[in-house]
Amino acid sequence: MDEYEPGELRLLGGFRGQQPVGLFPVFVREKYSLRFVVSPPPGLSVPWLGPVLMPTSPKQRKREKLNERFTEAVLEAVDVDSRRTLFGMVGTPKYGDPRPYLWENLNVDPRFNFILPLEDRDSESVLGSFTRDLRKEIRKGKDLDISITLEGAATAERICDDLKRRHAEQGLTYPTPRAFARDLVSQLDGQTRVYVARTPDGEFLSGITLLYANGEAMFWQGGAKANYQGVSVNSLLHWEIITDILDDPELESVERYHLGNALNRRISRFKSKFNGDPVVNYEIKSNLMLLARKVYTARRHVTLQNLSERF
């Protein structure tokens, strides 16, 4: 990420003596006489980054005290009260207590992601928990002559290209560099997989880049809408990933599959078919960042409106 983000990476750490109790990577970029402090940086399709707290006591009061003190120290270190600083972060689902940011007068908004628990389950019980139409689709997919295989970093680029094309068709941009998708797969060898669906003659239909570590597997990139003989290719790709998590010894440590965005209504309707749990994480912004977002959204709306009037 540091190679692709033009800002400066700052690795903030809180310590009790020599023992780390809090970690938080942020990126700082100077632009238009302003300081943008973000975690994660935009444009790389990274859904969340930090903070990570490592309390030394199981007592709730001490855990809350650590969270509060670490938050105060982070905000002081990035000079969040400066009129030049725009601060924005997205915490992981494991960071479930953003109250210290509210107490420091920052804006906290929930995001939602579907997580499918897979520990101590088998394929039949998981399939049986899906909606009827999804089960029917998956069973129908077994009789189709498409192949789903694992490919490499070059195909991760192809998946990124496919997303860029689909976004462009909707008048949107997809900013993630294709080289970042390639390098991520190359450098995180052993923690990534690239699943690809192809027709019998090798035509690319759709693909998903999967990341996995520490008991978690994440649908990271891909899944552009595709149908083959009336069947959703993405349904088959997700099912292939799920069965691999359940049966492949290389993925035996994975206990949960992150299906991703559960906030978008249209996307949520598809992903809810897999019977995952909607899990909350939090987006936190300073007032200046919130204002900048509103201005950007308003200007973009005007631009899209002008385009629609021209065409």
CATH, residue 197: 3.40.630.30
Q: What is the pTM of this model?
A: 0.90
pLDDT digits (tens, 9 = 90+) for 150-160: 999 999 999 99
Tokens coding 157: 């680029």
Residue corresponding to tokens 């950007």:
296
Q: Are residues 155 and 263 in the same domain?
A: yes
Classify residue 300: in a domain, yes or no. Answer: yes
Classify residue 3: in a domain, yes or no. Answer: no
pLDDT of residue 32: 86
Q: Are residues 25 and 171 in the same domain?
A: no
Q: Are residues 152 and 178 in the same domain?
A: yes
Classify residue 2: in a domain, yes or no. Answer: no
How many structural domains comprise the chain?
2
Residue ranges of the chain whose pLDDT lies below 70: 296, 298-311
Q: Are residues 270 and 131 in the same domain?
A: yes
Classify residue 219: in a domain, yes or no. Answer: yes
pLDDT of residue 138: 96
- Note down the domain range covering 84: 8-106+286-310
pLDDT of residue 295: 76
Q: Are residues 299 and 205 in the same domain?
A: no
Contact in structure between 194 and 152 (CB atoms under 8 Å): yes
Q: Are residues 98 and 166 in the same domain?
A: no
Q: Are residues 230 and 205 in the same domain?
A: yes
pLDDT digits (tens, 9 = 90+) for 12-71: 999 999 999 999 999 999 988 999 999 999 999 999 998 999 999 999 999 999 999 999
pLDDT of residue 307: 45
Q: Are residues 210 and 121 in the same domain?
A: yes
